[in-house]
Structure 1
């Protein structure tokens, strides 16, 4: 699939790094950038007419006043931030739209999911990855709840939607087939594609030659010539094994399926979660 709309989720206090990364990707492929700026409402806004029952309750009244001040400051920052981002993107030359949402933390997942439904790809940049509050919620909504692909770009990674060398972390799960399907446009344009099967002799059905043939044939029918690499983990994690192989083969991007287990952290973690947590300096294209 080609990417015509790319979504970038950011918090109002995040740096410009994630937006710049997503904008550069959009310019590269002629896509439109959709930016969603989120601010958590730490406390529910006060409903009109709800005040302390007793005028002597000064402490409670002062707390309410502080909450109102906080909400006012949040809204002022949320109003200012889109103008800053639009100015940034005008200089970049990326066509864009910038929206905001001020919501309770419990509603963030639904807000992000709704926006991902109208995008072809969500870019998760380093600022969002390092945000322990918004990061997991945005990743779960983008990756798990919407079913759309995600490009994870850790700090220090050089991301491109025209990668020259790509590495697929392959296994027999349906998620792997879906992410490869979502990445076919990227894979078909790459100069080199490698498929890594980690410890498949221990987990597969023993038909090594047949499995390699089926993978190679499937990709070849999409005009993708791929080399199949059989990798032993030697006791290392899947993430470590794939990262080292990606470095050894000078890969520009790794493609991996996200597991479908519950609960939340199991769904997006596992191999993919460890990758996100460890943040190796390589972009990760992932879907489930």
Structure 2
């Protein structure tokens, strides 16, 4: 699909780094930017707390909201100086509700950008990815530290196992892959049974992508005792890929983020930007 709107998630104490990345990506593809600035609200005192605790909590909320308001004003000034359309909103949810709030906003964007500052925030990363990936039906773009994100990549690695999740990811990334010089459909230890990939793993998806004008190579790789995630990351480096496209495996249960091993490894330690969908 063609990306015309991107969502950036900004925690109130973050630097401008993630936001500037989102602005650059929107400028690159002439997309609208939505920014959700949020602060985490503390739970109200309950039970037999000492007298005066409620007053302390109220004052803390007032301070938090004032800081949040100031951060929104800073963001508004930053986007005002760039030539893109932007909309900024703010939220003050409790920690348990962050995923739900992010998911609600993500439904109305073509993709959610999760930048390096947020990815290194261990307290919030899982909550934000939980909502953006599992509650929106939209893809996410993960941008680790030290990478150069682009939505007009020259080379793309499409991690493929014939599953529904990677099929969805391929569909979401069609326009991106169509503009690339090369797309490498990459399979690790592919199953050649008829119920999985058949005798020529990757041929079906290669034909589908070719019908969309995409220049495709199929790479079937042995794991050689390494993890699938490590093989994919190394191959992405070997082919000088600019972007990894893959399915996000797992589900959200009782506000816990539960994902498959490859998904978890790529999220926690990727050497490239990753477009992920499920």
TM-score (norm 2): 0.92
- Asked if residue 132 in structure 1 is aligned to residue 122 in structure 2, the reply is yes
1:1-288 equivalence runs, <5 A = 1-44=1-44, 60-201=50-191, 209-261=199-251, 263=253, 264-267=256-259, 269-278=260-269, 280-288=270-278
Q: Contact conserved, 2:193 with 2:199, CA < 8 A, in 1?
A: no
- Match of 2:230, SS state, is helix
- Alpha-carbon shift at residue 64 of structure 1 (Å): 2.3
Q: Contact conserved, 1:24 with 1:92, CA < 8 A, in 2?
A: no
Give me the whole-angstrom Cα distance separating, in 2, the residues matched to 1:283 and 1:164: 13
Give me the whole-angstrom Cα distance separating, in 2, the residues matched to 1:105 and 1:198: 38
- Alpha-carbon shift at residue 92 of structure 1 (Å): 3.1
Give me the whole-angstrom Cα distance separating, in 2, the residues matched to 1:194 and 1:8: 28
> Where does structure 2 lack aligned partners over 5 or more consecutive residues?
none
> Where does structure 1 lack aligned partners over 5 or more consecutive residues?
47-51, 53-58
Q: Which entry has the higher C-alpha Rg, 1 or 2?
A: 1
Give me the whole-angstrom Cα distance separating, in 1, the residues matched to 2:101 and 2:26: 22
Q: Contact conserved, 1:44 with 1:104, CA < 8 A, in 2?
A: no
- Alpha-carbon shift at residue 203 of structure 1 (Å): 7.5
Moved more, 24-33 or 192-201: 192-201
- Alpha-carbon shift at residue 262 of structure 1 (Å): 5.8
- Alpha-carbon shift at residue 212 of structure 1 (Å): 3.3
RMSD of equivalent CA atoms: 2.2
Moved more, 187-196 or 101-110: 101-110
Q: Contact conserved, 1:39 with 1:74, CA < 8 A, in 2?
A: yes
- Match of 1:241, SS state, is helix
- Match of 2:122, SS state, is coil
User: Which structure: greater helix fraction?
Assistant: 1
Q: Contact conserved, 2:244 with 2:275, CA < 8 A, in 1?
A: yes
Q: Residues 11-66 of structure 1, C-alpha deviation per residue, up to 9 Å, x if partnerless?
A: 101111111111100000111110001111112389xxxxx9xxxxxx82332232
